Amino acid sequence: MAELSQPATVLSVTDLTPHVRQLVVKPNRTKISFQPGQWVSLKLPIGPKPPLNRAYSMADLSSPSGELTLVFDRVLGGLGSNYLYQLKPGDEIPLSGPYGNFVLPQPLDRELLLIARYTGLVPIRCLLKQIFFAELQTPVLLIALAPHEEEVLFHQEWLTMAMQHRSFRYLPLVAQNGEAEAVEKAVAMLTPPVKGQPKVVPMLCGTKAFVRPLRTYFTEGGYDRKEVKVETYD
Ligand SMILES: Cc1cc2nc3c(=O)[nH]c(=O)nc-3n(C[C@H](O)[C@H](O)[C@H](O)COP(=O)(O)OP(=O)(O)OC[C@H]3O[C@@H](n4cnc5c(N)ncnc54)[C@H](O)[C@@H]3O)c2cc1C
């Protein structure tokens, strides 16, 4: 069940790319236990009618000490993300949670196809950590989109994962236009539909402009809408 709002203290601030930052925060009162793929709501003391609520997914598994790892990009002119960008260790932000259903399906008996753009990769990172921590043998294909080469998130981590786990395949793509089309081509090549074979489990995350055409691609390819798990950011 979601907890009431409580203050959380910023423990650390780390730049992951030129436009993506990580905050590790610790709720001051009650530990937030969450499932990988879930998010918390930050209550930011800004905007015309504060608080301004903004959702951020957990990038790392639940820790015994209750720290939460949040990762976000600086949206041009974005009120919330620019406020978060000026936080320093020791600052406090109210938050509540956890929320959300972008979690691994149970049982996980088919190949998992994870597709995300930019910070849409944040909950996916947490899901992948869950899969490999639990030593699940389910095959996983990750297609990770970035807007620029220097903005490829968690790249090194996933190269290492791909070397360590035979069941994991990782395809990074850099594109500023035609992202959905690039993904569709990759999906057709890497997980070609085979008649009579079970389908993959698609999980998509990012802004609507990225996620919606891909969901249509899967539903037009024979998937029920509810078989395609999506998390949209805007
Ligand atoms: C369930 C959920 C989980 C989320 N998890 C994360 C996360 O882990 N990391 C993260 O960076 N963001 C996440 N978001 C998005 C986040 O809540 C904010 O919307 C984002 O930081 C932009 O807020 P802002 O106030 O700076 O921008 P706003 O002033 O609200 O402007 C948003 C505008 O910027 C565009 N935009 C560009 N990039 C983004 C983006 N990354 N997210 C949203 N809109 C964008 C939108 O299309 C929209 O037009 C999540 C959103 C939801 C609903």
How far apart are the CA of 43 and the centre of ligand 1, in A? 14
Q: What share of the chain is helix, strand, coil (3-state, %, to 5)?
A: 25, 35, 40
Closest residue by CA, ligand 1 atom 29: 78
Closest residue by CA, ligand 1 atom 28: 78
How far apart are the CA of 233 and the centre of ligand 1, in A? 5
Dihedral sign computed on CA atoms, order 171, 176, 180, 182: negative
Sole residue written with tokens 């809408």: 225
* pLDDT value of position 3: 56
Q: Which two tokens stand for residue 85?
A: 């960008």
Strand-pair category, 20-27 with 229-232: unpaired
Structural contact between residues 59 and 71, judged by C-beta atoms closer than 8 angstroms: yes
Structural contact between residues 36 and 103, judged by C-beta atoms closer than 8 angstroms: yes
* pLDDT value of position 210: 95
Q: Which residues line ligand 1 (CB under 6 A)?
A: 39, 54-57, 71-73, 75, 78-81, 100, 119, 122, 207, 231, 233-234
Question: What's the one-letter identity of residue 93?
Answer: I
* pLDDT value of position 191: 87
Question: What's the one-letter identity of residue 158?
Answer: W
* pLDDT value of position 195: 74
* pLDDT value of position 197: 72
* pLDDT value of position 30: 95
Contacts (Cβ under 8 Å, ≥6 apart) of 30: 3, 6
pTM for the model stands at 0.96
How many CB atoms lie under 10 A from the CB of residue 138? 16
Q: How far is CA 19 from CA 7, 57, 82, 98, 151, in A?
A: 26, 17, 11, 26, 7
* pLDDT value of position 18: 97
Structural contact between residues 3 and 30, judged by C-beta atoms closer than 8 angstroms: yes
Catalogue all structural domains in the chain, each as residue range(s) with its CATH number. Answer: 6-99 (2.40.30.10), 112-232 (3.40.50.80)
Tally DSSP H helices, then E strands, for the chain: 5, 11
**Among residues 232, 137, 223, 224, which one has the least CA distance to residue 187?**
223
* pLDDT value of position 4: 87
Structural contact between residues 72 and 40, judged by C-beta atoms closer than 8 angstroms: no
- Each of the 234 residues of the chain gets a pLDDT tens digit; together they read 555 899 999 999 999 999 999 999 999 999 999 999 999 999 999 999 999 999 999 999 999 999 999 999 999 999 999 999 999 999 999 999 999 999 999 999 899 999 999 999 999 999 999 999 998 889 999 999 999 999 999 999 999 999 999 999 999 999 988 998 999 999 988 988 777 777 899 999 999 999 999 999 999 999 999 999 999 999
Q: Among the atoms of ligand 1, which is closest to the Cα of residue 209?
A: 47
Closest residue by CA, ligand 1 atom 7: 56
